[in-house]
Amino acid sequence: MNRNRAIAPSSNSQAASPQTITAETCCQQGKAHCQAGEFAAALAAFDQAIALDPRHAPAHNNRGNALGELQRQAEALAAYERALALAPTYHRAWFNKGQLLTQLGAYGNALEAYGQAIQLQPDPIYLHAQAAIWQNRKLVTA
């Protein structure tokens, strides 16, 4: 099944042929919207990516990020879990799930998510630092 759509070039484009919209291009557009603080527009782009390719784990992960910024935490958690169901070794989704669980005060579950991220991608120092911070916070609040 072809999940790509061809669209006509925008009116200010000089291209003679149609541009192809893919899940990845929609995902990149969504990331640009996130960086600009346009989270509703980002969510729409990630939803379009998922409509084009429901198995695109990065779109689900990034959708979770946008939903979190829109204070829709339950939906964000579901998006991260969907990304992980599609790609269980996707360390960024594990990290983002940990971040959200931390915000929700679910420190034990957050540490488990951070642990998965570290196990899958042991190099990024930010993973270790975040896990250490929340391990310390968990001990302080216990």
Residues in CB range of 50: below 8 A, 6 or more apart: 23, 56, 59, 60, 63
Residues in CB range of 140: below 8 A, 6 or more apart: none
CA pair distance 31, 128, nearest whole angstrom: 25
CATH numbers and ranges of domains, the chain: 1-87 (1.25.40.10), 89-142 (1.25.40)
CA pair distance 87, 78, nearest whole angstrom: 14
Helices (H), the chain: 23-35, 39-52, 57-69, 73-86, 91-103, 107-120, 125-141
pLDDT tens digits, the chain, 142 residues: what are they? 333 333 223 233 344 335 789 999 999 999 999 999 999 999 999 999 999 999 999 999 999 999 999 999 999 999 999 999 999 999 999 999 999 999 999 988 998 998 898 888 877 666 666 666 656 665 545 5
pTM for the model stands at: 0.77
Cβ atoms of 87 and 106 within 8 Å: the answer is no
For residue 108, count other CB atoms closer than 10 A to its CB.
10
